[in-house]
């Protein structure tokens, strides 16, 4: 298998608008190929198009991007190589409560064919752990906010391990050494070399590798402002620069030298270099040239070089040989049932181990229950208990609902993992939503029972097992709706700080048309009564509990000797609760809202945040529409004012431009 890209150009409008004709080139006529058993480095300064180049293979480009050119795998153009190509992004997305081995095992169960036995899957996982050198931390948790876990280098190797589980033909990596020390970075790249030499195509962008890391690469694609400066064997790059008139000093890291020659952020050559190297440099030296001019010379040198001619010839040679069929792909999707089971087990384990997900909130729910129970202890049936019962119910649902907002940060972290895995085609929205319902069910039941029973018996609501059961079920349904509502907010506003504010606002807004603040007949009919009171989960929950508590109960009269006041009269005259339907109707309406919210969550995940199905393999110019981030490459900024000059090096043999910063 060989990957070929011919004259790939990526551009986006400078501003949004249908009639905008100003385009910004992000890649300009990139041509090259990648062969098996070789590792290629994509290098260049920040904003040169490295990530855009990789994203053009994986369908992660922005919505307003226009791409031209051909990208071939096995000589064929396809819509999206999700099976043949794996992509490791810069950001690691893990559930921090899981161990390294558990993370790999769950991912393998989700992605590997269902016909594989448990022993075969475990063997694949063990081999991956050994291949990535993760034996020492296999049983260590990855780590999160309350648990320190594995190192950054181990996380990066775990990210790579997750992608090679399915034995993809092509592995793409976006700056896999970012944030790592030199030793960890070397180990990561060395692991990539082993993967490549096993017959895979490995392409990784890298910003500024050390000389030891640079020596590990077989091929090099050097970019500057979206244009090819060099493409060929990495070891021949030094000769190319020397032939172009920019030799690398004997004691300088080659990658540093390359970037200094093409990085437009460094514009002028230092005067100190002129003084120290004047008698060593011919009169026609490039000393004093701008970096933009050096870059132009290098680009033109490559375009007219034998390297580019040989690359074109090699591409033509490879094309006819690449019509052969690809071997069956090991990463075929497993059954939906197995995905659901695996996701449910993984989510439940994460919720169990993360003390902040549910356990901490359960403690607060219990404390709130005890607080309410002591404030309204043995509320009784006196005349003054009528309003007290109403306040008690309002406090219960008001406090319980607001406490649910504490789960938003944990929902966001789980959604990040979902977005990352879904974008790679591991599973869909339905499996995620259903698994979340099942895994969260025991915790919501525990929350409702633990706090509900404490409140019910301390306050002494309407006696009877059925009434107590209704209260707990009603509380469970209400909390479930709120949890789902918070998840919807988390999926639309994936920022924790904004999400907490937005989620709290939405919850309070939905509580407004309930009897917590004002009786139903007194609520303005326009908007608040119709339709908001029917859409408010708080309204149905409070209304149902009012009926559950007061129907069949008689209260003492205001004046001694008068007729006792029935619960029906209290509901109708004091709280304005309609009695045309019973409490089970209210509970049914609440359960219906729960189903509706789950459906809304599914639709939001599917359409609002969904990365549209990418089609990046073009025969001609075509606009692409993907959900993702835009790539804004930095424009060269050349100051007309002379900048301060500082020598960057005084190394022996420095015969190439040294650029001022």
Q: Taking the model in full, what pTM does it have?
A: 0.83
Kindly report, residue by residue over 406-445, the tens digit of the pLDDT: 899 999 999 999 999 998 889 999 999 999 999 999 999 9
Does pLDDT of 478 surpass 70? Answer: yes
pLDDT at 18 over 80: no
**Cβ-proximal residues to 469 (8 Å cutoff; 6+ apart), any chain:** none
CA angle 216, 221, 227 (to 5 degrees): 160
Cα–Cα dist 42/50, whole Å: 6
Give the Cα separation of 262 and 77 in Å (integer).
33
**Quick one: how far is CA 344 from the chain centroid?**
19
Instruction: Let me know if 555 is exposed, middle or buried by CB neighbors in 10 A (0-12, 13-18, 19+).
Output: buried
Asked which of 75-79, 349-353, 490-494, 654-658 is least confident by mean pLDDT, the reply is 654-658
Residue 541 vs residue 519, higher pLDDT: 541
The pLDDT tens digits for 379-410 are 999 989 999 999 999 999 999 999 988 899 99
**How far, in whole angstroms, is CA 219 from its chain's centroid?**
31
The full DSSP string for 123-175 is HHHHHHHHHTT-GGGTTSB--BTTB----HHHHHHHHHHHHHTT--SEEEEE-
At residue 60 the predicted structure's pLDDT band, cuts being 50, 70 and 90, is: confident
Confidence of residue 58 (pLDDT cuts 50, 70, 90): confident
Tell me the domain boundaries of the chain: 336-580
Q: Using pLDDT thresholds of 50, 70 and 90, give the confidence band for residue 65.
A: confident
Please list the residues that pair with 87 across neighbouring strands. 172
End-to-end CA distance of the chain: 43
Which has more confidence, 330 or 173?
A: 173
Q: Percent of the chain at pLDDT above 70?
A: 83
Contact 301, 227 (CB under 8 A): no
Structure tokens at 50: 């490295």
Question: Which of 577, 459, 462 has its CA nearest to residue 516?
Answer: 577
DSSP 8-state class, residue 74: T
Average of pLDDT values for 175-196? 91
What Å distances lie between residue 319 and 1, 3, 264, 324, 544, CA to CA? 10, 10, 36, 10, 71
Q: What's the pLDDT tens digit per position in 570-586? A: 999 999 899 989 999 99
User: Residue written as tokens 């306050």?
Assistant: 459
Residue 497: CB atoms within 10 A of its CB come to: 9
Mean pLDDT (whole number) for 613-641 = 36
User: 74-83, 136-145, 174-183: lowest mean pLDDT where?
Assistant: 74-83
């Amino acid at each position: 298998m060989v990957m070929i890209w011919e004259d790939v150009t990526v551009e986006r409008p400078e501003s949004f608008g249908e009639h905008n004709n100003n385009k910004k080139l992000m890649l300009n006529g990139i041509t090259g190929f990648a062969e098996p058993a070789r590792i290629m480095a994509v290098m260049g300064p920040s904003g040169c198009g490295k990530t855009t180049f990789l994203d053009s293979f994986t369908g992660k480009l922005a919505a307003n991007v226009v791409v031209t050119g051909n990208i071939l795998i096995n000589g064929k153009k396809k819509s999206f190589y999700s099976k043949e190509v794996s992509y490791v992004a810069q950001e690691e997305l893990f559930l921090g409560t899981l161990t390294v081995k558990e993370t790999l095992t769950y991912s393998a169960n989700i992605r590997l064919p269902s016909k594989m036995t448990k022993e075969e899957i475990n063997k694949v996982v063990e081999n991956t752990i050994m291949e990535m050198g993760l034996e020492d931390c296999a049983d260590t948790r990855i780590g999160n906010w309350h648990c320190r876990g594995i190192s950054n280098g181990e996380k990066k190797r775990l990210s790579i391990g997750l992608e090679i589980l399915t034995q993809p033909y092509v592995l793409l990596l976006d700056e896999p050494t970012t944030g790592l020390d030199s030793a960890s970075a070397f180990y990561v790249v060395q692991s990539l070399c082993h993967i490549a030499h096993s017959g895979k195509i490995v392409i990784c962008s890298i910003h500024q590798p050390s000389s030891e890391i640079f020596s590990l690469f077989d091929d090099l694609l050097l970019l500057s402002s979206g244009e090819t400066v060099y493409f060929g064997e990495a070891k021949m790059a030094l000769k190319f620069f020397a032939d172009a008139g920019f030799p690398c000093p004997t004691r300088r890291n080659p990658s540093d030298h390359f970037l200094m020659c093409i990085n437009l952020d460094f514009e002028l050559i230092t005067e100190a270099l002129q003084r120290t190297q004047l008698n060593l440099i011919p009169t026609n030296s490039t000393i004093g040239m701008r970096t933009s001019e050096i870059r132009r010379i290098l680009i033109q040198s490559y375009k007219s070089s034998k390297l580019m001619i040989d690359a074109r010839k090699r591409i033509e040679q490879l094309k006819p040989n690449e019509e052969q069929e690809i071997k069956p792909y090991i990463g075929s999707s497993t059954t939906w049932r197995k995905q659901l089971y695996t996701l449910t087990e993984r989510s439940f384990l994460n919720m169990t181990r993360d003390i902040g997900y549910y356990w901490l909130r359960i403690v607060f729910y219990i404390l709130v229950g005890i607080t309410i129970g002591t404030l309204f202890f043995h509320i009784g049936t006196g005349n003054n208990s009528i309003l007290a019962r109403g306040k008690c119910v309002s406090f219960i649902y008001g406090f319980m609902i607001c406490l649910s907002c504490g789960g938003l940060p944990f929902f966001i972290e789980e959604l990040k993992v979902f977005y990352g895995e879904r974008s790679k085609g591991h599973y869909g929205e339905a499996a995620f939503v259903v698994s979340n319902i099942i895994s969260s069910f025991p915790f919501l039941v525990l929350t409702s029972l633990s706090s509900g029973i404490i409140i019910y018996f301390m306050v002494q609501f309407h006696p009877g097992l059925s009434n107590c059961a209704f209260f707990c079920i009603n509380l469970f349904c209400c909390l479930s709706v709120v949890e789902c509502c918070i998840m919807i907010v988390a999926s639309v506003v994936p920022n924790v700080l904004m999400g907490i504010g937005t989620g709290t606002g939405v919850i309070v807004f939905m509580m407004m048309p309930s009897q917590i603040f004002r009786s139903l007949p007194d609520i303005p009919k326009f908007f608040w009564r119709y339709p908001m009171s029917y859409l408010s989960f708080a309204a149905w929950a409070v209304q149902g509990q009012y009926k559950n508590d007061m129907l069949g109960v008689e209260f003492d009269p205001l004046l001694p000797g008068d007729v006792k006041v029935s619960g029906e009269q209290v509901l109708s005259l004091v709280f304005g609760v309609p009695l045309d339907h019973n409490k089970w109707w209210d509970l049914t309406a609440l359960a219906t809202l729960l189903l509706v919210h789950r459906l809304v969550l599914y639709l939001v995940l599917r359409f609002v945040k969904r990365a549209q199905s990418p089609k990046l393999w073009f025969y001609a110019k075509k606009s692409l529409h993907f959900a993702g981030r835009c790539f804004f490459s930095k424009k060269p900024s050349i100051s007309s004012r002379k900048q301060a000059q500082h020598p960057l090096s005084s190394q022996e043999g420095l015969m190439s431009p040294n650029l001022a910063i």
